[in-house]
Structure 1
Amino acid sequence: MALIITDECINCDCCEPECPNEAISQGPEYYIIDPNRCTECVGHFDEPQCAQICPVECIPINFELNESREQLMEKFLRLQAEKTPSAA
C-alpha cells in the first residue's frame, strides 16, 4: 500500500525532503504522494519517514492500494534500478 496525504495537510514542507523515493510533491492545494513511487520507505527505513515527521499526522496508509511488503520491496528494487544507469 502506498501512503496518502489528506486535506488536513498544512503545507509545512517537512515531508517532501524526507521521502527517499521522491514520491512527494506539491499538489494544487497540498502535498501529494505518487503511489507509483511510494514504497512506505520499504528498502530504506523500518517506518515511513514522511508519516514520522508530519506535525499534523495527515499521512495515513491508502487502503485503496493493497500492496504487500513483498510488492513494496519489488517497487523499491525497480526504482533503484531506474536510478542506476546501465553500464554498456
Structure 2
Amino acid sequence: MARKSKTSKKLSKKLDKLEKEGQKLRSKAEKKGKELSSMASDRIDDLRSDPEPEKGGKGKFLLVLLGAVGAFVALKRKRDQELDEALWEEPRSI
C-alpha cells in the first residue's frame, strides 16, 4: 500500500505541474488572441476608412486571363476525351 501512495503522490505532483503549465499556456494564448483580435479590428477600421480603390486595368486583365485559362482547360479536356474515344474505337494490335 505504501508503494501505491508514493506513486499516486508522484502522479499527483506531475498532474499539478502539468495543470499549472496548461494554465500558463492558456493565459498566454488568450493574451495573444486578444492582441490579434485588436489588430484585426484596427485593420478593418483602416480598410473601411480608406476611399474606394481606383479601378484600374488589373481587374480586367485578370478577368480576361481567367477566361483564357478556363477556355484552355475546357478545350484540353475535350481533346483528351476525343483521344480516349478514338483509342477505344480503333485499338492497335500489340
The interval holding the TM-score normalised by the smaller chain is under 0.3
TM-score by length of 1: 0.23
TM-score by length of 2: 0.21
Q: Which has the higher relative contact order, 1 or 2, with Cα contacts under 8 A spaced 6 or more apart?
A: 1
Give the structure with the larger helix fraction: 2
Give the structure with the larger strand fraction: 1
